[in-house]
Structures are given as structure tokens and as C-alpha cells.
Structure 1
Amino acid sequence: MEWSTLLSPRRERESSEKYRSSDLRSEFEKDYHRIIGSASFRRLQDKTQVFPLDKSDFIRTRLTHSLEVSSLGKSLGQNIGESILKYKKDSGFTPQMKEDISHILQCAGLIHDIGNPPFGHFGESAIREWFIRNLPELKFEGERVEDLLTEQMKQDFYHFEGNAQALRLVSKLHYLVDEHGMNLTYALLNTMIKYPVPSTGIDKESGNIKDKKMGYYLADEELFHRITKATGAGNNRHPLTYILEAADDIAYKTADIEDAFVKGFISYHQLESELAVLEKETEDSPFKPATKLRKLYQRGVEKQVSSPEAYAVKNWIISVQGFVLNCVTYGFTSNYEAIMAGTFGQDLFYGTFAEKLMNLLGDLAYRKVFSSRQIYKMELAEYTILDFLMNRLVSSVLYYNTDSEQDSLDSRMVSFISDNYKTAYRLQSQGKSRTEKLYLRLLLVTDYVCGMTDSYAKRLYQEMNGII
């Protein structure tokens, strides 16, 4: 892979030369303004990161998380770009390319979660499980829907994925000017495709990180191939995708610990104890996590802050992020040849001093937060909401836009779906077969549900059930 094509500024619809010549921004800077001005991006302010429908102003939402990923991504782009130049890792890499990758990563951080449904990653699981349970039971015009759909169509629903939905949303569903959505650059679109495989190509046993999940729906396969042909990435991960994923991991793993501390799931002493064990296991690491936390606590005591524990934890998070940023820069540059060849199958923490620390933070959040009774109770409520909405919406779209007449309840349900999504469906379904249209109508449901905020999903459920 070559940076000259990887940083493709092409779009599905190109602007006229007249407007390009009068705009001094780079194509990637233009992407930034398209994103932050979109309703889809604004809706992230009411989508869960960890704690659903939380009333605290401190707890992160998908919007604040995305802003943090954007900031970290840009910093990593600058650090890694400078490292490539300094150590002459690539004779074709220029200072302008360093600026471009920083802008691309800044934008990718903003939209990496834009396709996620309400209620965080649990919402994704709930939708997948709904299809696994119910698709075999659905019938359309007397035939089993499962028998009508192709294998890839079925697997798209059985492996429903927010990452694939993000590509679909920004490229087709954000209907502002035309059917090309936000009409973002190919370099940016390719960066946000974390898994360059279809649902039928998932292979969790391959040992390569790119095969873990699907990256695009069958409905968007032609777009995927246009993007990856233009960038030259093909079926490999775009090099910037590794950096985006690292920025995401740094943001959520450190933020989950901070949010969990604020909510009382993890105490200062529990964190210190876990880090002390890690510190003994990684004596060769230049970063001493437990020692650093204790020093910050002592500084808080000396400064006579109201809570030395909170002072220590929050400042420790900042120290960790700085340390891990340096490790990721090393991880990218030390594996540069394999990344550019498309053969590197790990994340950028692999083999660095940050690897075990990041694993511990993820494991700690899972044990203390995500497996807690409080979170389980919230997830049961979320499951009930999504299960109800999926039941109603799927049954209502089966005969939408067909020769069969819908009953009054179904037509009312369909009326709730955004006109943008219905317009996208009509455009995509033109000239398609009966089976393809049925597949697109089922995608219409996931499009609508994924566009919902947490509050909207909850309110719609309550209103439909007469809960005032």
C-alpha cells in the first residue's frame, strides 16, 4: 500500500472545479465541517457510552467519547507522521501527508461510533439476538423469510454491527443533498472500516484482527469495493484504521475507569491494589502505574484537596494516556513494513509496554462495572425496549412498498420512520429483485433503530405501551 493512494481525496460525488478553486481548505478539512454540522453527529449527545440514561453531567456520552477519540487520533497522527519522517521509514511520505493523516484521524474519531444503536454495545447484542431468535419464524407471502434471503443477507442480520452501520449512515442515510450522504472522502471512509470483510467472511480463529467482525453490509458492498480500489487497500486494513482503533481503545478504557470511580464501582484502593500486582509483573516497564497513582495521591494530600483519591485517579488517567500514546507511536513505526504490506494482524499495543496495562484496564472495567447487578438491571430494561420496537417495526415493514395492502397499525408504524431513511430505501430498491427489496426493508428497520437516541427509544416504547 502507498500513501499517495491511501490518502485518496476522492468522493462519490465530486465538487465542481469552480467551488474547489475558491476553497482553501484541504478535502479532509472539509470532511470535518460536514460531520460536525450533521444531525447524526449531534444525536451522539444522547447515546450511551457506559451508563444508560444517566442524569449526571460528568458521565460520558457517545458524543464526548467521540470527541476524545478525535483528539487522541489527531495527536497520534501527528506523532506517528513525525516519526515516519524523522526515522525515514518511507521515502514517499511527505510533511503534507502528516497533516492529512492528522485531519483524517480527527474526522474518523468523530464518526467511528455514529452507527451504533441506542444503549451502547448492549444495543448491538440485543439487535443481533433478536434476528437470531425471530428471523427463522418470519414469513413473507407465505414463505419463510430465512429461505428467501441469501446467505450473506441472513448473516448481515445475525452479525449486525455498529461499524458496518456507520459506513452505511454517512454514505447513504444522511440524505441532505443527494443519495451520497455526507459524501466524505474515500480515505476517511476507508479509515473507519475496521473490519474489511463481509458477514460471510468473519473468522474469529484466523488470528488476524481484521477478520473478527463484519465491516460492511451486502447492500454497501459495491461502495466498499469502490473505496478500497481507489485507496489501494483492497481487503487489507487501511493503516490509519490501526491508529483509529488505538485512539478508541485509549479513550474508552481510561474513561471507563474514571467514570466507574466517579459512580462508585471502583475505589482508589481497589485500583491501587490491581495496579500494584501489574507493576510487579512488568518491572521492566518505564511507567510504574501503582507508584504513579500513590505519588499523585500524596500530592493531593499536600495540596489539601477535598478528595485526594479523586485527584489521584483523574490525574493518573492523564498520565496513562500520555504514556500509551508514546507506546502506540512505537507500535506503529516498529511494525511499519507489515502494516503497509497488509500482513500485521494485531493491535498497536501488541508487544509494547502498554499491552498488559491496557488489558488490565479493560478487564477491571468488565469485572467491576459491566458485570455488576446495576448494569445488568439497566440492560434488562434496554432489552425489553429494543425487543418491543424490533417486533413492531419488522412486522410493519414486511409489506411496506409492495402490492400487498398494509393494515392500519403497520402503516402508522412505518410513518414514524424518518423520511430520509425511506427515501434511501426507495433509491436503493429501484430495479432490485423481490428478495433484495425484502432485505432492504429489514435494513430499513435497523437504519431507523440505530438512528434513535436512548431517550427517544425509551419514550417511543412508553408511548406505544400507554406509559405516561
Structure 2
Amino acid sequence: MNWKKLLCEKRRRGYSTSAVSADPRNEFQKDYHRIIGSASFRRLQDKTQVFPLDRGDFVRTRLTHSLEVSSFAKSLGQMIFRNIIRYREDSGLEEADIEKICSVLECAGLIHDIGNPPFGHFGEDYVRDWFRRNLPQMEYNGKKLNELLTPQMMGDLCNFEGNAQALRLLTKLHFLVDENGMNLTYPLLNTIIKYPVSSTGINKKSGNIKDKKMGYYYADKEIFEDIVSSTGAVDCRHPLAFILEAADDIAYKTADIEDAVKKGFITYPLLLSELRNTYAERCADDGEREEYSRAVEKLESYYSHALENGVSSPEQNAVQRWMIYVQGVLLKCAAFGFTSNYSDIMQGTFPKEILAVSHGNALAYALGDMAYRFVFRSKEIYKLEVAAGEIYEFLLSKFVRAAVLYDTGFESSAIEQRVMRFISENYIRAYRVNSQGKTETEKLYLRLMLVTDYICGMTDGYARKLYRELSGIE
């Protein structure tokens, strides 16, 4: 791969440049304004990051998380590529490319979660589980749905993925001018494709991170192939996808712990004890051990400093200060992980996360594991997820059953006809455009996708409100 192609300025729909010739922005900076002005981006303010249906105003939402990822990704881009130019690691990379790269990363951070459904990662899990349970039980024209749909169509639904939904939303569903969605640049779209495989290409045992999940649906195969052939990132990740992934990891791993301490899931003594006694042995070498030990000492020093200065909440103050320190450490480590593996990344053969091959690996693992053990597996979160599950079960059951017979020669019930009227006209229009000339099986698949499109576009508040209204709850 080379940066001339990786930073190509292609969009799905071209446009005349004569009217904007005086515009000093590069193409990727123009993407930024398209994104922040979009309704899809604004909806992230009412989508869960960790705590579904939470009424507090401190914890992160998808919007605040995306802003943090955007900031970290841009910073990483500056750190990494200035070093690459300084040490002449790539003769094809120019100083002017750094601004473009940072613009791509800044935008990618804003949209990396834009396809996620309501109620956090639990929502993704519930959609997958619902289709696995129900598709073999449902019929269309006398046949079970799982017998009608192709393996990839089944895989798309049963392995539903927010990453793939983001590509779909940005290229088709954000229907303003035409069927090309936001019409963003291909390098930006390629950067958010963390897993450049289809649902039938998922292989969690391959040893390559790119095969872990799917990155595009059968319905979006054409645009995916156009993107990767244009950038040159065929059968591998775009190099900037590694940086976006690291920025995402740093943002959520530090934020989850900070939010957990603020809400009382984790105390300062527990955090310090776990860091001292549970994770230090994960350090792979002296360099990683030194980085880890220094981080633990920093946490203790921040707490002592807060006590000495009479801070009203010394534990929370120490953790908040420590999180800023840890973010800086992990950013430095991620930059090293990328630059030290630059050749393999550019050849498309690097199989891991860049944080995993750095001195920050043990520290990053500790943060993620503590959040999982003390927050995600807590009774409080389980209660919120059970409530969210009731909403998903109701909405998926209502809309999927109505969608199966929609736009066919078969008569649906009066209720099913009314249910379909709730779906956004933009999504209906996108369905009609993309279903033209398709087979009956493909149309059935697209109708099922129409439901996931609609539900993924909902905010937490709208999903809850619609559930209550349609189920007759006051």
C-alpha cells in the first residue's frame, strides 16, 4: 500500500469543483462539516456508551465518547506520522499528507460508532440473538426464512455488527441528496472498516484481528469493494484503522473506569488493590513492567496529593487525574506500536492491535478487565439490560413480522400495515432504490435489513418511548 492511493479523494458521487475552487479545505476537512451537521451524528447524544437507560448526567454517551476518540485519533496521527517523516521511514509520505491523515482520523473518530443500535453493545448482542432464535421459526410463502436466505444473508443478521451498520448508514441510509448517503471520501470510509471481511469470512481463530467480526453486509458488497480497490487496502485493513482502533480502546477503557468510580461500582482502594495484585504478572518484559509500575505509583501519589490538599473527594480526584495520565501513557505506547510495526502494517500483514504489542498492553488489559468484572457483570447493569431487552424483543417482533410481507403480493394484517408506517420515509426510500431489480430472496433480505436499519437509527429515548406507546403503557 502507498499513501497516494490510501489518501485518494474519491467519493461515490463526484461533483464539480468549479463552484468551490476557492475553498481552502482539503476533502477530508469537508467530510468533518458533513458529519457534525448530520442528524445521525446528533443522535449519538442519546445513545448509551455503558449504562443503558441511565438518568445521570455525568457518564459518557456515544456522542461524548466519539468526541474523545476523535481527539485521541488526531493526536495519534500527529505523533506517529511526524516521527515517520523525521526518521525517513517512508519516502512516499510527505509533510502535506500529515494534515490529510489527521483530518481523516478526526472524522473517523466522530463516526466510528454511528451505526450502533440503542443501549450499547448489549443492543448488538440482542439483535444477533433475536435473529438466531426467530429466523428458523418464521415463514414466508410456505418456507422457513433460514431456508430461503443465503448463508451470507443469514450471517449478516445473526452476526449483526455496528461496524458494518456504520458503513451502511453512511453510504446509503443517510438519504439527503440521493442514494449515496453522506457521500464521504473513501479513505475515511475505509478507516472505519475495522474488519474487512463478510459475515461468511469471520474467523476468530485465524490469529488476525481483521477476521474477528464482519465489516460489511451482503447488501453493501459493491460499495465495500469499490472503496478498498480505490484505496489499495484489499484483503487487509487500511493503516489508519489500526490508529482509530487504538484511539477507541484508550477512550473507552479509561472512561469506563472513571465512570465506574463516579457511580460507585469501583472504589479507589479496590482499583489500587487490583492493579497491585491481579495484573502486574501480565507484563511481558522489563519495559512493560516498568511502565505498569510507574502508573500504579502515579495513582498512589495523586491520592496522597489530594489528601494533603484537603480535596473534598480525594478518591475521585485521584482517579480523574490518573486517567489523564494513563491516556497520555497509552497514546505514547500506541504510537510506538504503530511505528515499530510500520512496514508490516503497510504491507497488510500485521495481525494484531497496536496497543497489544506495546508496553501499555498490561495496563490497557487491566482497565478493560476491571470494567468487565465490576461493571458489566454487576446486578445493576443486568437490570438495565433486562429492561432494554424487553424493548428489543417487542420492537423486533412487531417490525420483523410486519416487514416479511411488506411490498409483496401477500396480504398482511391491518396492524402489520400500520406498523410499517412508523418506519422512516428515508429508510423506506433507500429500500425501494436498493431493491429494484432484485430477486425475491434479496428483497426479503432487504426488508429484514430495513427493520435493523430503523431500529439502529433510534436513540435510547425514542426506542423506549415507541415501546411504551405501541404496547399501551402510560
Deviation at 1:280, TM superposition (A): 6.9
* Corresponding residue of 1:112: 112
Deviation at 1:314, TM superposition (A): 0.1
Alignment of 1:235 with 2:235, yes or no, is yes
* Corresponding residue of 2:55: 55
Q: In the alignment, is the contact (CA less than 8 A) between 1:77 and 1:243 conserved in 2? A: yes
The CA deviation string for residues 47-106 of structure 1, in whole angstroms up to 9 with x for no partner, is 000111212111100000000000000100111111111111100101111111111010
Alignment of 1:396 with 2:418, yes or no, is no
* Corresponding residue of 1:84: 84
Matches within 5 A, 1:179-258: 179-258=179-258
Alignment of 1:324 with 2:330, yes or no, is yes
Alignment of 1:421 with 2:424, yes or no, is no
**Against the structure 1 CA distance between its residues 88 and 141, is the aligned structure 2 distance closer, same or farther, given a 3 Å change threshold?**
same
Q: Output the CA distance in 2 between the equivalents of 1:179 and 1:334.
A: 41
Alignment of 1:136 with 2:136, yes or no, is yes
Moved over 3 A (4+): 278-284
Q: In the alignment, is the contact (CA less than 8 A) between 1:275 and 1:289 conserved in 2? A: no
Q: In the alignment, is the contact (CA less than 8 A) between 2:139 and 2:145 conserved in 1? A: yes
Q: In the alignment, is the contact (CA less than 8 A) between 1:279 and 1:290 conserved in 2? A: no
Deviation at 1:306, TM superposition (A): 0.7
Deviation at 1:279, TM superposition (A): 4.8
* Corresponding residue of 1:465: 471
Q: Output the CA distance in 2 between the equivalents of 1:45 and 1:433.
A: 38
Matches within 5 A, 1:52-451: 52-277=52-277, 278-279=279-280, 282=283, 284=287, 285-286=290-291, 288-451=294-457
The CA deviation string for residues 182-237 of structure 1, in whole angstroms up to 9 with x for no partner, is 00000000000000000000000000000000000000001000000000001100
Note the residue ranges of structure 2 that are not aligned, 5 or more in a row: none
Note the residue ranges of structure 1 that are not aligned, 5 or more in a row: none
Q: Output the CA distance in 2 between the equivalents of 1:4 and 1:147.
A: 45
Q: In the alignment, is the contact (CA less than 8 A) between 1:276 and 1:289 conserved in 2? A: no
Q: Output the CA distance in 1 between the equivalents of 2:70 and 2:78.
A: 12
Normalising by the residue count of structure 1, what TM-score does the alignment of the two structures yield?
0.98
Q: Output the CA distance in 2 between the equivalents of 1:247 and 1:350.
A: 13
Moved more, 297-306 or 82-91: 297-306
The CA deviation string for residues 87-146 of structure 1, in whole angstroms up to 9 with x for no partner, is 111001011111111110100000000000000000000000000000011111112111
Q: In the alignment, is the contact (CA less than 8 A) between 2:282 and 2:362 conserved in 1? A: no
Q: In the alignment, is the contact (CA less than 8 A) between 1:239 and 1:339 conserved in 2? A: yes
Q: Output the CA distance in 2 between the equivalents of 1:171 and 1:65.
A: 23
Q: Output the CA distance in 2 between the equivalents of 1:228 and 1:456.
A: 35
Q: In the alignment, is the contact (CA less than 8 A) between 1:9 and 1:186 conserved in 2? A: yes
Equivalent residue pairs, number: 468
AA aligned opposite 2:168: R
* Corresponding residue of 1:29: 29
Q: Output the CA distance in 2 between the equivalents of 1:179 and 1:410.
A: 27
Q: Output the CA distance in 2 between the equivalents of 1:92 and 1:183.
A: 28
Normalising by the residue count of structure 2, what TM-score does the alignment of the two structures yield?
0.97
Q: Output the CA distance in 2 between the equivalents of 1:259 and 1:212.
A: 28
Q: In the alignment, is the contact (CA less than 8 A) between 2:280 and 2:362 conserved in 1? A: no
Q: Output the CA distance in 2 between the equivalents of 1:248 and 1:260.
A: 18
Deviation at 1:303, TM superposition (A): 2.0
Deviation at 1:14, TM superposition (A): 1.1
Question: Secondary structure of the residue that 1:299 maps to in structure 2?
Answer: helix
Question: Secondary structure of the residue that 2:54 maps to in structure 1?
Answer: coil
Q: In the alignment, is the contact (CA less than 8 A) between 1:66 and 1:112 conserved in 2? A: yes
Q: Output the CA distance in 2 between the equivalents of 1:134 and 1:319.
A: 47
Q: In the alignment, is the contact (CA less than 8 A) between 2:250 and 2:330 conserved in 1? A: yes
Deviation at 1:324, TM superposition (A): 0.7
Q: Output the CA distance in 1 between the equivalents of 2:143 and 2:313.
A: 64
Moved more, 115-124 or 289-298: 289-298
Question: Secondary structure of the residue that 2:355 maps to in structure 1?
Answer: coil
The CA deviation string for residues 359-397 of structure 1, in whole angstroms up to 9 with x for no partner, is 111100000000001111111111111011000000111
Q: In the alignment, is the contact (CA less than 8 A) between 2:2 and 2:346 conserved in 1? A: yes
The CA deviation string for residues 312-353 of structure 1, in whole angstroms up to 9 with x for no partner, is 000000000001101111000000010001110000112311
**Against the structure 1 CA distance between its residues 371 and 419, is the aligned structure 2 distance closer, same or farther, given a 3 Å change threshold?**
same
**Against the structure 1 CA distance between its residues 139 and 281, is the aligned structure 2 distance closer, same or farther, given a 3 Å change threshold?**
closer
Q: Output the CA distance in 2 between the equivalents of 1:309 and 1:33.
A: 40
Q: Output the CA distance in 1 between the equivalents of 2:357 and 2:434.
A: 45
AA aligned opposite 1:333: T
Q: Output the CA distance in 1 between the equivalents of 2:357 and 2:170.
A: 34
Q: Output the CA distance in 2 between the equivalents of 1:101 and 1:146.
A: 43
**Among the aligned pairs, what percent are the same residue?**
59
Question: Secondary structure of the residue that 2:357 maps to in structure 1?
Answer: coil
Q: In the alignment, is the contact (CA less than 8 A) between 1:279 and 1:289 conserved in 2? A: no
Q: Output the CA distance in 2 between the equivalents of 1:297 and 1:401.
A: 63
Q: Output the CA distance in 2 between the equivalents of 1:16 and 1:405.
A: 46
Deviation at 1:276, TM superposition (A): 1.8
Q: Output the CA distance in 1 between the equivalents of 2:351 and 2:280.
A: 27
AA aligned opposite 1:425: Y
Q: CA RMSD in A?
A: 1.1
Q: Output the CA distance in 2 between the equivalents of 1:429 and 1:286.
A: 55
